[in-house]
Amino acid sequence: MSFPSVVEIAGEVRAGRVTARAVTQATLSRIARRNGSLNAFTAVLDARALARADAVDAAIAGGAAVGALAGVPFAVKNLFDVEGLPTLAGSKIRRDATQPPRDATLIQRLEAAGAILVGALNMDEFAYGFVTENAHDGPTHNPHDLTRIAGGSSGGSAAAVAAGLVPLTLGSDTNGSIRIPASLCGVFGLKPTYGRLSRQGVFPFVESLDHAGAFARSIEDLALAYDVLQGPDAEGDAICTRVAEPVSDVIAALADGPLRVGVLGGWFAQGAFPEVLEALDSVARALDARDRVILPGAQAARAAAFCLTPVEAAHLHLPDLQTRALDYDPAVRDRLLAGALLPRGIAEAAQRYRTVFRDEARRAFEHFDILLAPSSVCPAPGIGQATMEMGGQQVSVRKNLGAFTQPISYIGLPVLAAPVNRPGQLPIGVQIIAPAWREDLALAAGLKLQRQGVVAAHAPEGLL
């Protein structure tokens, strides 16, 4: 089974060989047939999507420019503001929230380029989790094995792309929430540099760690969407001030050239399942990466992120915790309550360590263009599975899926999560980590691997 790509759809629509309405109707039909087994969508916007498709077709008929993503269907994690739709952020508390008067900036940018929003996607409550076993909306199922998790917190975003419901989705990543589900569902996910993409209209989790990003089934699709999403938005997101640096036209040349690639060891190998390390080794061989690199302080960086997360999140949720605590998912509520009780000095110390660990990463990038690491410690665990074995010990699934992602997002580096080509096996992804603001290098390394067939997104045959 093959699914049409972002690049293919946009090219066909712009050329007039297919209408945006026909693409949208086919997409809505697929969602209606397949989402019942996946539980990826929490809202489907049929009327809005068809109206938008008609507007794209009318523009093309009138000879107007329609943008690089003409007719491309996409969906967003339900913590993105969608005009007229409550921004759930996976929660019960926000079901009766005031409907936003406008779309999030990133939705506006995609639609300005001709893309068509078709719905909102399931997630862990308030983005606090790696499993998307939502207490209010139910779990999202992994398209490769419906008894397993899709990962989180952007589980619906990854599953919808993996199952071919839509070719493009938006998600968010605070501690690994794009990279974990991309890895477990076998698709590409991009967590750009902290501050690269606007978070205006994205419900916050941990402001000092939150990133917005995207999922797709190929490097070309991801790069094209990323270029559309870029650009300053200082009025909506004070940290998003960087001028756009398009990558679609440069990554092919970078992929043709030499890349200095190192493989992170130490913390980034501890407890990883054997098949995860085998997948990482296959990527390292393809990129001729022979050097093992140690990032001193990675474990401390992960611990600092672990401390910073509940403290900042609890501060945001304190009013609701005081008045509506029982409306939270218990797994989320208890961590928020713990964060509210932590002394402020812990968060301040966790923030200070970022400078130390960021300097260690800078030193590593003096010798390498790219660093490799596993995305997840294991393939997708089962839905409802509480523990797994790491290093000979039983540990919590929820607490440890992000062991290799948290140190990297703690210092805001750009990462491409790439699915290793393992036909017939559960997906496993690798992190392709670049220096700050060098998303082009991560995507170029991904393109080099994609050309060799070492990384690829696969259709989950026979499950849907």
Catalytic residues: 77, 153, 177
CA dist 21 → 27, 48, 73, 84, 95 (Å): 10, 12, 10, 22, 30
Taking the C-alpha atoms of residue 229 and residue 213, their distance in angstroms, rounded to an integer, is: 9
Which residues, at least 6 apart from 71, have a Cβ–Cβ distance to it below 8 Å?
9, 10, 12, 13, 14, 18, 19, 20, 23, 24, 53, 56, 114, 115, 116
Residue type for position 369: D
φ, ψ of residue 455 in degrees (nearest 5): -120, 145
Token code pair at residue 246: 């398009």
Q: How far does Cα 188 stand from its chain's mean position?
A: 8
Which residues, at least 6 apart from 64, have a Cβ–Cβ distance to it below 8 Å?
none
Token code pair at residue 146: 């419906």
Helix axes 20-38, 6-15, angle to 10 degrees: 150
Contact 185, 142 (CB under 8 A): yes
Taking the C-alpha atoms of residue 312 and residue 336, their distance in angstroms, rounded to an integer, is: 9
Of 134, 135, 162, 130, nearest in space to 146 by CA: 162
Of 151, 155, 175, 154, nearest in space to 307 by CA: 175
Residue 102 three-state SS:
coil
Taking the C-alpha atoms of residue 19 and residue 23, their distance in angstroms, rounded to an integer, is: 6
Token code pair at residue 311: 């403290």
Contact 347, 339 (CB under 8 A): no
Helix axes 6-15, 46-61, angle to 10 degrees: 50
HSE-up (13 A, CA, CB side) for residue 118: 31
Contact 134, 121 (CB under 8 A): no
Taking the C-alpha atoms of residue 172 and residue 89, their distance in angstroms, rounded to an integer, is: 11
- The H or E element that residue 14 is part of is helix 6-15
